[in-house]
Amino acid sequence: MSKDIQVSFTLNGKPVTYTVAPHTSLLRMLRNNYNYDVKCGCEEGDCGTCTVLVNGESMKSCITLAAQVEGANIVTTKGLTYGTDEIGHMIQRAFVECGSIQCGFCTPGMVMAAKEYIDDGGIADRKAIRKAISGNLCRCTGYVKIVDAIYRVAKDLGREVR
Ligand code: FES
Ligand code: FES
């Protein structure tokens, strides 16, 4: 049997070290250590609900090995809710105000995909927004209200297409 490994990284601004079996996914490592804001859906890379930001890039944590995030900076929805990042707060507010949450199952992953889009300078363009969230599945909303929320954030940041 392979020996457990230690993985050290920054999680929502705080340094953490977790001990895991070498084949453990990032998703399992996070959830096994009580980070339940990271949702588990298909666990096969299809649904996107497990999406987190790794060094600013959205990644599906179920198909990322824990060992790959050694030294990385990881942000989850908890980091956006309790952190001081204004964009994160704007996205979460917009999701609530635009009625973008029904069962809520896809929401953490959608919020993280939105965060990457806006952080990368994403504009208020529905087609571009749909592309940005194309790796995230929602079975309830028809996507319209989710796109509306991200559009609103981009618009509020003055990124309207003229
Ligand atoms: S749980 Fe990771 S993509 Fe579905
Ligand atoms: S709100 Fe239910 S899956 Fe998206």
pLDDT digits (tens, 9 = 90+) for 74-124: 999 999 988 888 999 999 999 999 999 999 999 999 999 999 999 999 999
DSSP 62: G
For the domain made up of 5-76, the CATH class stated in words is alpha beta
Q: Could you tell me if 100 and 36 are in contact, meaning their C-beta atoms sit under 8 angstroms apart?
A: no
Asked if the model's pLDDT at residue 131 lies above 70, the reply is yes
Average pLDDT over residues 2-16: 96
> Angle at Cα 156 formed by Cα 150 and Cα 161, nearest 5°?
80
Q: Where in the chain is the domain with CATH 1.10.150.120?
A: 79-156
Q: φ, ψ for residue 21 (rounded to 5)?
A: -70, 150
Residue whose CB lies within 8 A of the most ligand 1 atoms, among 26, 38, 47, 133, for a mutation test: 47
List residues bridging with 53 in a β-sheet.
58, 75
Domain limits, CATH 3.10.20.30, in the chain: 5-76
In the reported structure, the alpha carbon of residue 151 is separated from the centroid of ligand 1 by a whole-number distance in angstroms of 25
Query: pLDDT at residue 52 above 80?
Result: yes
Cβ atoms of residues 143 and 114 within 8 Å:
no
Q: Is the CB of 141 under 6 A from ligand 2?
A: yes
| Beta carbon of 137 within 6 Å of any ligand 2 atom | no
Mean pLDDT of the 57-63 span:
97
Say yes or no: CB of residue 41 within 6 Å of ligand 1.
Answer: yes
Q: Ligand 2 atom 3: the closest Cα is on which residue?
A: 138
Ligand 1 contacts CB of residue 48 (under 6 A): yes
Please tell me the distance from the alpha carbon of residue 37 to that of residue 75, in angstroms, as a whole number. 11
Angstrom distance (rounded) from CA 161 to CA 26: 37
pLDDT value, residue 162: 74
Task: Please state, as a whole number, how many other Cβ atoms lie within 10 Å of the Cβ of residue 101.
Answer: 20
Domain 79-156 sits in CATH at 1.10.150.120
Q: Give yes or no for a contact between 58 and 52, defined as CB atoms under 8 angstroms apart.
A: yes
Task: Compute the average pLDDT of residues 29-42.
Answer: 97
What is the Cα–Cα distance from 19 to 28, expressed in whole angstroms? 12
Contact predicate 102/140, CB 8 Å:
yes
Per-chain mean pLDDT for the chain: 96
